[in-house]
């Protein structure tokens, strides 16, 4: 029997197996940030351990950092202390630290790929659940807890039970204005927010093949929102093209070797998955969420259903009550207050291009507060270099500096209680974007259309 892509990469990293227990898995790349790493370093200290391979760990400050005036000292005392602690820990252990103001700084899942650190066939972890993003390159990438961060720092490995395998195939051609974000939300709405728990997902079929690397990252990023440990896509010419010449990508002869190895990274035709699911591309429409988990989503032109199957009736009503929505409500035309473009889900250059393509020549509604936050300094630079900034500014939008920002609202970027935000992020949990904030997850196109009209708007109506 053949092997799946996931098997190939996993088996290649197993140092040893424990009977009736987890595998000991070698980790190639480790990303750390200021929020989930400090206690791991405290642990190292108390056990008197060192970082085993400092050059396999990369550090950035993103979760807790301000998105305006980054050249000034961080005002929030605790945030400042967290960033300072990370800097100190990195210095002490010889880890590369890309702090605020550094030209490589940005959201951890944006900077990994754009600098070529993320590569096919690798195992990649980070104390952040959206590490699944890196699976877009055919890597096994998943989020870990702080105890595991300590394991990777001290032993460059982790103990994990091998998950089951699921393949999601979507063939056909996507409708106009349907983006990778819509594809991912559609899948989650079909499977529910726990439908892939216990599985590692491989995405296959025409839709993912023709998707850009940025789009693939958006899809893999959202794998965790249906409970999956991660998602991955077999590397192809597009993957190689994207990686070629990036800072940490292999060079010269190593590059040729790498391509040879990477080309074998696909599921064998006779490999077997524990679960196979398929959808038709043409069934997917621009999507929007109405509840408090990403599975509570509908095509933008549809009403809120009477019930969904993701939880009990009581949990469903609790969600709608939080959102102040009712069963049967039409989503289109609902008034909103904020628009947020950014995060490791939709904060890459392609997302800004897509947003700008719709607002070009139009104006932001006066009633809307719009926060546009690039995923990294490199994204910010491209926004300027490509003339996107001009388009944004002449439509009444302002740009902020890179970071996670209102995706988790740890810094000052909090949506006020009771307000509605159309957000390109990944979680519409209660209070995720600020205590009492009401989040509607959608694509950059839906966000742009809604920013122009001040209410939930189908991008197809704007053109």
Partner 1 sequence: MAYDKFNIIKSSAVPLNIDNVDTDQIIPARYLKATERKGFGDNLFRDWRYNSNNEIIKDFPLNNEDYSGRILVAGKNFGCGSSREHAVWAIYDYGFRAVVSSFFADIFKNNCLNIGVLPVQISEDFLDELFSEVERDNNSQFEINLPKQSISIISNGQSENFNISKYKKENMMNGFDDIDYLVDRKEDIITFANKIPR
Q: Which of residues 178-197 bind partner 1 (CB under 8 A)?
A: 193-194, 197
Residue 407 interacting with ligand SF4 (CB under 6 A): yes
Site for partner 1 in 253-312 (CB under 8 A): 293, 310-312
Output the smallest distance, CB 107 to ligand SF4, in A: 5
Q: Which residues contact 13 (CB under 8 A, 6 or more apart)?
A: 25, 26, 27, 28, 123, 140
**In this complex, which beta carbon is closest to ligand SF4, that of residue 79 or of residue 426?**
426
Residue 62 interacting with partner 1 (CB under 8 A): no
Output the smallest distance, CB 408 to partner 1, in A: 4
Q: Out of 305, 429, 460, 462, which residue is the one contacting partner 1 (CB under 8 A)?
A: 429
32 forms beta bridges with 59
Residue 120 CA to residue 135 CA, distance in Å, equals 8
Residue 405 CA to residue 413 CA, distance in Å, equals 6
344 binds, among ligand SF4, partner 1, none (CB under 5 to 8 A by kind): ligand SF4
Stretches 21-29, 209-217, 403-411, 446-454: which one binds ligand SF4 (CB under 6 A)?
Answer: 403-411
Residue 118 interacting with ligand SF4 (CB under 6 A): no
**In this complex, which beta carbon is closest to ligand SF4, that of residue 121 or of residue 215?**
215
Residue 421 interacting with partner 1 (CB under 8 A): no
Output the smallest distance, CB 295 to ligand SF4, in A: 17
Output the smallest distance, CB 345 to ligand SF4, in A: 7
**In this complex, which beta carbon is closest to ligand SF4, that of residue 128 or of residue 458?**
128
Q: Out of 213, 300, 356, 408, which residue is the one contacting ligand SF4 (CB under 6 A)?
A: 408
- Pairing outcome for strands 14-17 and 123-126: unpaired
The answer to whether residues 86 and 102 touch, using CB atoms and an 8 Å cutoff, is no
Residue 50 interacting with partner 1 (CB under 8 A): no
Site for ligand SF4 in 310-339 (CB under 6 A): none
Residue 413 interacting with ligand SF4 (CB under 6 A): no
Q: Out of 8, 30, 130, 167, which residue is the one contacting ligand SF4 (CB under 6 A)?
A: 130
Q: Out of 128, 182, 308, 401, which residue is the one contacting ligand SF4 (CB under 6 A)?
A: 128
**In this complex, which beta carbon is closest to partner 1, that of residue 173 or of residue 321?**
321
Residue 373 interacting with ligand SF4 (CB under 6 A): no
Q: Binding mask 86-115 vs ligand SF4 (x if CB under 6 A, - otherwise)?
A: ---------------------xxx------
Q: At CA 223, angle to CA 217 and CA 224, rounded to 5?
A: 120
109 binds, among ligand SF4, partner 1, none (CB under 5 to 8 A by kind): ligand SF4
- Cα 117 to chain centroid distance, Å, stands at 16
Which residues contact ligand SF4 by CB under 6 A? Answer: 62-63, 107-109, 128, 130, 343-344, 404, 407-408, 426
């Amino acid at each position: 029997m053949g092997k799946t892509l996931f098997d190939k990469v996993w088996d290649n990293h197993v140092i040893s197996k424990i009977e009736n227990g987890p595998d000991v898995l070698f980790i190639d790349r480790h990303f750390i940030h200021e929020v989930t790493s400090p206690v791991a370093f405290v642990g190292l200290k108390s056990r008197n351990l060192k970082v085993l391979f400092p050059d396999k760990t990369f550090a950035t400050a993103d979760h807790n950092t301000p998105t305006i005036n980054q050249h000034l000292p961080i005002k929030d005392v605790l945030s400042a202390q967290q960033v300072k602690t990370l800097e100190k820990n990195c210095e002490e252990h010889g880890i590369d630290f890309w702090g605020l103001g550094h030209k490589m700084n940005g959201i951890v899942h944006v900077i990994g790929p754009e600098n070529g650190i993320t590569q096919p066939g690798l195992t990649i972890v980070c104390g952040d659940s959206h590490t699944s993003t890196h699976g877009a390159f055919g890597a096994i990438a998943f989020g870990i807890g702080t105890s595991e961060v300590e394991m990777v720092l001290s032993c460059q490995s982790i103990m994990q039970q091998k998950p089951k395998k699921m393949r999601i195939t979507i063939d056909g051609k996507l409708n106009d204005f349907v983006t990778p974000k819509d594809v991912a939300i559609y899948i989650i709405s079909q499977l529910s927010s726990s439908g892939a728990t216990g599985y590692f997902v491989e995405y296959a079929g025409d839709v993912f093949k023709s998707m850009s690397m940025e789009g693939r990252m958006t899809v893999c990023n959202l794998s965790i929102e249906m409970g999956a440990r991660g998602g991955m896509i077999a590397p192809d010419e597009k993957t190689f093209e994207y990686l070629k010449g990036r800072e940490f990508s292999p060079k010269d002869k190593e590059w040729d070797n790498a391509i040879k190895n990477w080309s074998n990274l696909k599921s064998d035709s006779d490999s077997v998955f524990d679960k196979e699911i398929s959808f038709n591309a043409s069934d997917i429409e621009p999507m929007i969420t109405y509840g408090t988990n990403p599975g509570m989503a509908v095509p933008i032109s549809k009403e809120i259903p009477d019930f969904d199957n993701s939880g009990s009736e009581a949990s469903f009503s609790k969600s709608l009550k939080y959102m102040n929505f009712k069963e049967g409500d039409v989503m289109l035309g609902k008034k909103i207050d904020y628009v947020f473009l950014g995060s490791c889900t939709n904060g890459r250059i392609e997302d800004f291009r897509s947003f700008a393509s719709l607002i070009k020549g139009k104006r932001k509604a006066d009633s809307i507060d719009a926060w546009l936050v690039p995923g990294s300094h490199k994204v910010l630079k491209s926004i300027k270099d490509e003339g996107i900034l001009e388009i944004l500014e002449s439509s009444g939008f302002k740009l902020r500096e890179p970071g996670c920002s209102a995706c988790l609202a740890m810094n000052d970027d909090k949506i006020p209680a009771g307000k509605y935000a159309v957000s390109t992020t990944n979680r519409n949990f209660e209070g995720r974007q600020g205590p009492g904030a009401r989040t509607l997850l959608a694509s950059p196109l839906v966000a742009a259309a809604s920013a122009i009209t001040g209410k939930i708007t189908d991008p197809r109506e704007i053109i």
